[in-house]
């Protein structure tokens, strides 16, 4: 029942109507009953007082002249007043001279033997009055009357009337609400019905039939407009959805194509890499064996030219000796070149032995080793604070050797050669640099600095094989670092290399 | 209850000593005489100013006069104090408002009936032929109770007005005098 009320507008409407009727009737009925009961009390009281007064007046002469019969006759007139239960007349000295019992009086109802003080009071459900009788300003007796005072009965009667009126009103209200419902709720229910169908079937072509021209009619119109609008939107949305879906499909296809292409590319790259690696290895082993094989004939050339000088030097003229000397020098130079090339190609094969390396110590050791070969007392060396780097001690030593000898070589022709070594550390890597005030280089050829056999200066000017910086680059790259250089012709050069703080075993 | 006794005492001072309504005929008649005055209106001016006492004349009935003297003590009729005048035959009826004629003396009324009736004097008698002799109210004994009868004609002639309430308790009311 409660659910039905909660769900249906119809029931709510009926309930509201009935409730309003019930409440208004209850309030009005209660107010009326209270007023009526109050009025009843006042009426009964004043009525009884009036009757007592009239009876007293009428009975005055009878008492004055001691006429009991006349007093009784007066009392018997009360028969017309049914609500009077009993009455009595007392003379001036309190003796009862006449009494009356109404038809409704109980058998045990007793008329007081003596009169009491004037006044009205309630006593055992009846109203009792005593009233003095005055004749010529003298008290000649007393009237006693008792009357029905049935407030409860009257109240019950009222409740009965109220209940029947209320029942009737509720019936009428129910009927009215049923009648009004068809006028008020039918259009709403029609809208609700269509709304439910639309929700269930998703059919936006349904329409509510407009039956009235009031707000409900407007509601129906608005609902219909809304339905058509929703229908149109839904169609648009569906079209857009379809287009989107098509687009998505195309994209998926394109994506797939790209992925396929990528895979193919990757495969090709790996193939090429493999080929390249193979070629590289072949090349390295080739250059190694070539270098290795070149050393034996070279030794012979150098060795025999030395033997020639020792055994036949005295027989040769100066020109011949000079030429033999040239052969010896160039032969040795070629030996150095071959050694460098061997070292370079070995580097590709050698595994890194990584450990913590005190770079400051390493730089000093390198410097001292270089000093033993040549006298660098002229050179001003400045070494800054150096960190501990992670890497292969031997290879890093090679880096320092190459860079330092490079710097020494190119600054040797200065009057006051100066070499500065330092390091900068950020959160990712250590940056080391070697700065000299030597010959410098043309920035145009910066890119060629680190290539094998790339030389920016003539060998006669600065001797060298052209392998040193290539070796440096290779070692640094294997440590995962970078190399670069700054400089200008005649203004010195600065060579930088980095070592990552996180050690990693990179491969060339 | 105390109040009631007090009221009774006040209301019935003269008879308070007696246990019941006075059986004594004279006493009752004296009381009735006094009470009649309350139901009768005298013509304007007849009773004189308020200072003038209200006179009840008693002719030939001394016991009643005695009782009456007792009863009227301290009481007033029409705002006037009351005087009981004992009359003898031949006495003038000056200022008398009520005239009581005792048993046997009623016959004397007959000659002066015309004169009496010209004046507003309430004439009360106590014998069977009282009304015929010129009385307006006549005492009767009914079942040993004192009652009275009224003759309206002489009352009207005299210019007095009797209250209907008095007539209501009269034993008989005669429209015409006898």
Domains of chain A by range and CATH? 2-102+112-173 (3.30.450.20), 352-500 (3.30.565.10)
| Three-state secondary structure call for residue A340 | helix
pLDDT reported for residue A505: 47
Residues 6+ apart with CB under 8 A from A291: A338, A341, A342, A345
Torsion of CA A231, A236, A238, A244, to 10 degrees: -170
Q: What is the mean pLDDT of chain A?
A: 84
Question: Among residues A458, A508, A335, A485, which one has the least CA distance to residue A402?
Answer: A485
Tokens at residue B34, please? 């006094």
Query: How far, in Å, CA of A173 to CA of A177, rounded?
Result: 6
At residue A169, the pLDDT reads 87
Residues of B in contact with A112 (CB under 8 A): none
If you classify domain B23-174 with CATH, what class do you get? alpha beta
Contact A65 B32 (CB under 8 A): yes
What ipTM was assigned to the predicted interfaces of this complex?
A: 0.76
Residue A34 CA to residue A31 CA, distance in Å, equals 5
pLDDT in tens, A50-69: 988 888 888 888 888 888 88
> In this structure, how many other beta carbons lie within 10 angstroms of the beta carbon of residue B41?
14
How far is the alpha carbon of A142 from chain B, nearest alpha carbon, in Å? 11
C-alpha closest to that of A121 among A49, A54, A176, A66: A49
Residue appearing with tokens 């195309």: A250
pLDDT in tens, B104-146: 777 777 777 777 777 888 989 888 888 888 888 999 888 888 8
A435: CB partners within 8 A, 6+ apart: A407, A419, A420, A421, A422, A492, A493, A494, A495
Q: Is B150 on the interface with A (CB under 8 A)?
A: no
Between A281 and A233, residue with greater pLDDT: A233
- Judging contacts by C-beta atoms under 8 Å, the chain A residues touching residue B37 are 136
Q: Say yes or no for a CB contact (<8 Å) between A65 and B169.
A: yes
Mean pLDDT over the full length of chain B: 78
Identify which of A114-118, A132-136, A418-422, B40-44 has the greatest average pLDDT. Answer: A418-422
**Predicted pLDDT at A289:** 80
CA distance A449 to A484: 9
A363-368 CB contacts, 8 Å cutoff, 24+ apart: A363/A400, A363/A404, A363/A421, A365/A397, A366/A397, A366/A400, A366/A401, A366/A404, A367/A404
pLDDT band at A3 (very low <50, low <70, confident <90, very high): low
Give me the DSSP letters along A150-177.
Answer: -HHHHHHHHHHHHHHHHHHHHHHHHHHH
- Residue of A57, A58, A63, A64 to mutate, testing the B interface (most B Cβ within 10 Å of its Cβ): A64
Percent of chain B surpassing pLDDT 90: 4
Four-point Cα dihedral A105, A106, A107, A110, nearest 10: -80
Helix (H) or strand (E) holding A283: helix A215-312
Q: Report which of residues A202 and A131 the model is more confident about.
A: A131
- What residues pair up with B146 in beta bridges, in sequence order? B141
B3 to chain A, any CB pair closer than 8 A? The answer is yes
* Residue-range domain boundaries for chain B: 23-174
Confidence of residue A421 (pLDDT cuts 50, 70, 90): very high
With beta carbons less than 8 A apart as the criterion, state whether A206 and A224 touch. Answer: no
Angstrom distances, CA of residue B157 to CA of A427, B44, B122, B123:
154, 15, 11, 12
Please report, rounded to a whole number, the percentage of residues in chain A having pLDDT higher than 90. 15
Are B8 and A94 an interchain contact pair (Cβ–Cβ within 8 Å)?
yes
For residues A494 and A435, is the Cβ–Cβ distance under 8 A?
A: yes
- CA torsion sign, A160 to A161 to A162 to A166? positive
- For A142, B32, B34, the CA distances from B15, given in Å and listed in that order, are 18, 13, 14
| Chain B residues within 8 A of A140 when measuring between CB atoms | 11
pTM here? 0.47
Residue B1 binned pLDDT confidence (cut-offs 50, 70, 90): very low
* pLDDT band at B176; cut points 50, 70, 90: low
| pLDDT band at residue A2 using 50, 70 and 90 as cut-offs | low
Residue A507: predicted pLDDT: 40
Residues of A within 8 A of B4 (CB-CB) are: 94, 115, 117
Give how far Cα B39 sits from Cα of A60, A135, A414, B36, B125, Å: 11, 9, 173, 5, 17
| Confidence band of A104 (pLDDT split at 50, 70, 90) | low
d(CA B98, CA A24): 72
Q: What is the 3-state secondary structure (H, E, C) of A92-106?
A: CCCCEEEEEECCCCC
Q: Which residue of A has its CA nearest to B35?
A: A64
Give A458's contacts (C-beta < 8 A, 6+ positions apart). none
Q: Give the other-Cβ count within 10 Å of B12's Cβ.
A: 21
| B38 contact A CB<8A | yes
Q: Is A134 helix (H, G, I), strand (E, B) or coil?
A: strand
Is the confidence at residue B16, as pLDDT, over 70?
no
- pLDDT for residue B5: 32
pLDDT in tens, A192-215: 888 888 888 888 888 888 777 888
């Amino acid at each position: 029942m409660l659910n039905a009320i909660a769900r249906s507008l119809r029931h709510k409407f009926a309930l509201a109507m009935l409730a309003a009727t019930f409440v208004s009737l209850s309030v009005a009925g209660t107010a009326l009953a209270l007023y009526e009961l109050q009025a009843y009390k006042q009426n009964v009281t004043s009525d009884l007082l009036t009757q007592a007064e009239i009876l007293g007046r009428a009975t005055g002469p009878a008492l004055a002249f001691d006429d009991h019969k006349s007093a009784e006759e007066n009392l018997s007139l009360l028969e017309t007043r049914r609500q009077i239960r009993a009455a009595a007349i007392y003379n001036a000295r309190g003796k009862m001279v006449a009494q009356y019992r109404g038809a409704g009086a109980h058998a045990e109802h007793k008329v007081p033997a003596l009169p009491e003080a004037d006044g009205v009071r309630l006593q055992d459900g009846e109203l009792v009055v005593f009233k003095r009788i005055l004749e010529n300003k003298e008290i000649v007796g007393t009237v006693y009357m008792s009357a029905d005072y049935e407030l409860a009965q009257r109240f019950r009667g009222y409740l009965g009337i109220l209940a029947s009126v209320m029942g009737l009103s509720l019936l009428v209200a129910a009927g009215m609400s049923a009648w009004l419902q068809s006028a008020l709720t039918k259009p709403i229910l029609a809208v609700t019905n269509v709304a439910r169908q639309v929700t269930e079937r998703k059919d936006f072509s349904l329409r509510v039939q407009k039956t009235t021209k009031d707000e409900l009619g407007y509601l129906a119109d608005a609902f219909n407009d809304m339905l058509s609008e929703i229908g149109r939107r839904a169609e648009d949305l569906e079209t857009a959805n379809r287009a989107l879906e098509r687009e998505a499909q195309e994209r998926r296809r394109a994506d797939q194509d790209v992925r396929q292409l990528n895979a193919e590319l990757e495969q090709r790259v790996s193939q090429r890499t493999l080929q390249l690696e193979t070629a590289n290895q072949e090349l390295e082993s080739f250059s190694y064996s070539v270098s290795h094989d070149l050393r034996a004939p070279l030794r012979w050339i150098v060795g025999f030219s030395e033997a020639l000088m020792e055994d036949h030097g005295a027989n040769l003229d100066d020109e011949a000796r000079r030429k033999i000397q040239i052969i010896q020098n160039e032969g040795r130079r070629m030996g150095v070149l071959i050694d460098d090339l061997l070292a370079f190609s070995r580097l590709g094969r050698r595994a890194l032995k990584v450990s913590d390396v005190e770079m400051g110590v390493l730089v000093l050791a390198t410097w001292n080793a270089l000093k033993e070969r040549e006298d660098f007392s002229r050179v001003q060396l400045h070494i800054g604070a150096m960190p501990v780097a992670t890497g292969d001690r031997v290879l890093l030593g090679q880096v320092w050797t190459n860079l330092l000898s490079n710097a020494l070589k190119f600054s040797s022709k200065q009057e006051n050669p100066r070499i500065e070594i330092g390091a900068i550390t950020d959160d990712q890597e250590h940056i080391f640099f070697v700065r000299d005030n030597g010959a410098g280089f043309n920035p145009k050829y910066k890119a060629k600095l680190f290539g094998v056999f790339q030389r920016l200066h003539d060998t006669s000017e600065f001797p060298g094989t052209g392998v040193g910086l290539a070796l440096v680059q290779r070692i640094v790259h294997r440590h995962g670092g970078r190399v670069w250089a700054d400089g200008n012709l005649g203004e010195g050069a600065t060579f930088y290399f980095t070592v990552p703080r996180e050690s990693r075993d990179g491969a060339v | 209850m105390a109040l009631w006794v007090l009221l009774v005492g006040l209301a019935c001072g003269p008879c308070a000593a007696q246990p019941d309504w006075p059986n004594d005929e004279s006493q009752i008649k004296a009381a009735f005489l006094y009470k009649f005055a309350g139901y009768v209106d005298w013509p304007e001016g007849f009773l004189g100013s308020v200072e003038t006492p209200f006179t009840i004349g008693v002719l030939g009935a001394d016991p009643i006069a005695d009782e009456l003297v007792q009863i009227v003590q301290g009481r007033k009729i029409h705002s006037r104090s009351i005087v009981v005048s004992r009359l003898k035959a031949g006495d003038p009826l000056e200022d008398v408002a009520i005239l009581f004629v005792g048993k046997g003396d009623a016959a004397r009324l007959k000659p002066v009936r015309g004169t009496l009736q010209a004046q507003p004097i309430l004439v009360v008698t106590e014998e069977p032929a009282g009304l015929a002799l010129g009385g307006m109210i006549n005492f009767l004994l009914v079942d040993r109770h004192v009652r009275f009868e009224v003759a309206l004609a002489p009352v009207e002639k005299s210019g007095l007005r009797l209250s209907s309430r008095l007539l209501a308790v009269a034993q008989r009311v005669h429209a015409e005098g006898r």
